[in-house]
Chain A
Amino acid sequence: MTDQIFKKMAQSIIDGESEIAVELAIKALAEGMDPLDAINKGFVLGVEHVGNMFSCGDAFLPELVMAGEAMKAAVSVLEPEMAKQGTERKSLGTVVLGTIEGDIHDIGKTLVGTMLSTAGFKVFDLGVDVPIMTLVEKARQENADIIGISSLLTTTMVKQRDVIEALDDLGLRGKVKVLVGGAPVTRSWAEEIGADGYSEDAVGAVEVAKEILQAD
């Protein structure tokens, strides 16, 4: 029986049906289900499935984004209960995200944030046009493991290097890994500036984030 409910939970994510996901989450709590089970055995499987389908070209961006939204909705129902029980979802790490100052492109970055949070990272998305020091300060404040910087313009991309230098100057570089992305960003640029990771797309970003934290 519970298996069927888990399947329905996963399906609500695959279908991007936030309202159904929320209903299932509420029902699960009412029937005494462990909220962590609901997430790990139900909803997360839906996210992984959509992520895999996207990677092989069977699902597109709208499916990915809506799956993320449905997941967020389900988690927001389950989180208060987990906090009460003291069984928070194990955070894979804390990420501070932003599109670098001077740049207002955010679609990719927002998608990365959604994917990371549905995968279990704690994400602080600072939005667009984020000054370098704001990113760094927030990372310090939240004891972040990763700063993720997006830029779509080559004119703003150069500031990704400045973020890394700022972390160096403040002695934070050892604690905070840097992920970079955005259309003009390449693996060789990431290497050139000493970033820890780079991904072509949002789905890949989750894997890279997990890898670079494990590499510690």
Chain B
Amino acid sequence: MQPQLRILAPELVPQIIDEAFQLLLKPGIKVQREEARDLLAGAGARVDKDHEVVQIPEKLAREALETVPRDFFLFDKLGQPAVHYGGDDVHFDPGSSGVNVLDADTGQHRPATSSDLIKVIKITESLCQYDAQSTALVCSEIPKEIGDLYRLYLVLLYSNKPVVTGAFSIQTTSSMIEMLSVFAGGLDALAKKPTAIFDVCPSPPLIWSSFGSQNLIDLARAAIPAQIVSMPLAGAAAPVTLLGSVVQHAAECISGMTIHQLAQPGSPIVWGGAPAIMDMRQGTTPMGAVETAMLDAAYAQVGKSFGFPTHGYLGASDAKIVDYQAGMESSTTAMIGALAGINMISGAGMLDFLACLSPEKLIIDAEAIGMAKRMLQGMLVHTTPLAANMYDEINFKGDFLKQRLTRQLVKEEQYLPSAVIDRGSIRTWQQLGSTTAMDRAKTRLKDLLKSYQPPDLPADQVAELQTMVARLASAAGLEKLPPLGD
């Protein structure tokens, strides 16, 4: 039995959904793209063109929500199902779009580069706790116009795992889909076995921007999975009450799914988010606050009541270095997300309100994720009876080490952390240098890079991708693609 956290009292769920439908009428949803408004109007919504506000009746929305697939898979490059978006299956990926990287030697936050991203991709590839890659860093030396597709390019070259990504513009969305189709064997094959999911963001409160609306439509029509990332900022861009923010989240997701399904019914889409509370002293948006995790758990429960696949942003910290705060915030929120049964939990590796990614933290966070996944396995019934027949030769001595059962079952019963987790005696610890978790992560990073296995990609497909990206780069003013340092 998978242990579960259902944070909302059952009677709150229909109340939240009911009020979300009320918001869709009053004040309605601002939809800043004419094509999206036309889709909604065509289905019976009332449109105020001058103010770009649409009133979406519940019946219309509910009909659209009916065609949302209740589950789907992301595939790896070998064509194997790798991530199941559905039910209470829980997966983790690193946080994405970090602008800075934590330099482990200097302790400084510095702008990330392609070689940082390549390192992160290799680590993520080598850690079994991560079910998918993300486009984790923005490469500062790459022209902004192709920043989104360039990071996808790197993920595609260095990893077999599916990727959680997102586009920054309408044009690059279609370029990125084309890039993905190279290894999938064409656009149709990609739609049948998608290897990526694209984040799409409404703007709080209750706004689908021009780009966001178009993104929903384009992804729906390409049948590439879309992941709504609604981010109510409780007390600033959403009600200060957590429940109020969950209602806003539901309204943003319902309206987004409605536009999406009207564009193409049956295309996959995820009820996801990256909410936070607003810290009223600092004016910051703490991802590591417990209330942030509570928001994710609550909105996930609402999404699950419909049967939708879910996503959340947890496992990150607002600390600036990999210290106790970083550990506390990341592991607590990751565990909450896991128990809430969220299908894809993004955020591992991140510091400083998602602005910075630390490769070493990503390695340590893998242990927190290992703990969470072990928790989700629950208490396993390995034997019948549970214990009654295990004492025959024990004779009141702690001799369980000698039992065959111990040897047979210990690996199934216990999660084996890596050397990042110190469980040695204090003498051993001292002999090994009295290391911190950060020290041990630095060592493990070197080991992981050594043991990294690059994906086995057909040379002609690699060439096709490189030609495509080089062409797009040159159009953005980048004469030559940067060399891929290894």
Residues of A participating in the B interface, judged by any CB pair closer than 8 Å: 57, 60-62, 104, 107-108, 111, 154-155, 158, 183-184, 201
Contact check, B203 vs A61: say whether CB atoms are below 8 A apart. no
Give the contacting residue for A155; candidates B144, B233, B278, B353; CB below 8 A: B144
A155 in contact with B168 given A107-B236, A184-B355 (CB within 8 Å): yes
Given contacts A107-B236, A154-B138, A155-B147, contact A61 B283 (CB under 8 A): yes
Closest to B280 in A: A60
B278 near A154 with CB under 8 A, answer: no
Contact with A along B264-289 (1 / 0, CB 8 A): 00000000000000101101000000
Q: Contact between B283 and A108 (Cβ–Cβ < 8 Å)? A: yes
* Chain A residues within 8 Å of B13, by CB: none
A107 partner residues in chain B, CB cutoff 8 A: 233, 236-237, 278, 283
Contact A61 B278 (CB under 8 A): yes
Task: A183 to B283: give the CA distance in the assembly, Å.
Answer: 10
Check B99 for interface membership: any CB of A closer than 8 A: yes
Contact status A184-B99, CB under 8 Å: yes
Q: Kindly identify, within residues 202 to 241 of chain B, every residue whose CB is under 8 Å from any CB belonging to chain A.
A: 203, 209, 233, 235-237
- With both beta carbons as reference points, the residue of chain A lying nearest to B209 in the complex is identified as A104
Closest to A202 in B: B283
CB contacts (< 8 Å) of B278 on chain A: these are: 61, 107
User: Closest CB-CB distance, A171 to chain B, in whole Å?
Assistant: 29
Closest 4 CB pairs of A and B: A60-B280, A61-B280, A154-B99, A107-B236
**A156, closest chain B residue (CB):** B144
Q: Tell me the smallest distance from the CB of B253 to a CB of chain A, in Å.
A: 19
- Distance in angstroms from A132 CB to nearest chain B CB is 16
The 18 sampled A-B contact pairs (Cβ below 8 Å) are A60-B280, A60-B281, A61-B236, A61-B278, A61-B280, A61-B281, A61-B283, A62-B280, A104-B203, A104-B209, A107-B236, A107-B278, A107-B283, A108-B283, A154-B138, A155-B144, A155-B168, A184-B99
- The complex places the Cα of A91 from the Cα of B168 at a distance, in Å, of 41
* Cα distance A61–B234 in the bound complex, in angstroms: 13
Using CB atoms, name the residue of chain A closest to B111: A154
Q: How far is the CB of A104 from chain B (nearest CB, A)?
A: 6
A155, B355: Cα distance in complex, Å = 13
Known A61-B278, A107-B283; further 19 A-B contacts with Cβ < 8 A = A57-B281, A60-B280, A61-B236, A61-B280, A61-B283, A62-B235, A104-B209, A107-B236, A107-B237, A108-B283, A111-B283, A154-B99, A154-B138, A155-B144, A155-B147, A183-B353, A184-B99, A184-B355, A201-B283
The residue on B at minimum CB distance from A153 is B99
Docked Cα-Cα span, A163 to B369, in Å, equals 45
Identify the closest chain A residue to B148 (Cβ).
Answer: A155
Q: How far is the CA of A38 from the CA of B235 in the complex (A)?
A: 32
CB proximity of A214 to chain B, nearest CB, Å: 27
User: A121 to chain B: closest CB distance in Å?
Assistant: 20
Residues of B within 8 A of A111 (CB): 283
- Bound-state Cα–Cα, A155 to B236, Å: 23
Give Cα A36 to B286, complex, Å: 42
Taken together as a complex, chains A and B put the C-alpha atoms of A212 and B281 apart, in Å, by 27
B280 — which chain A residues lie within 8 A by C-beta? 60-62
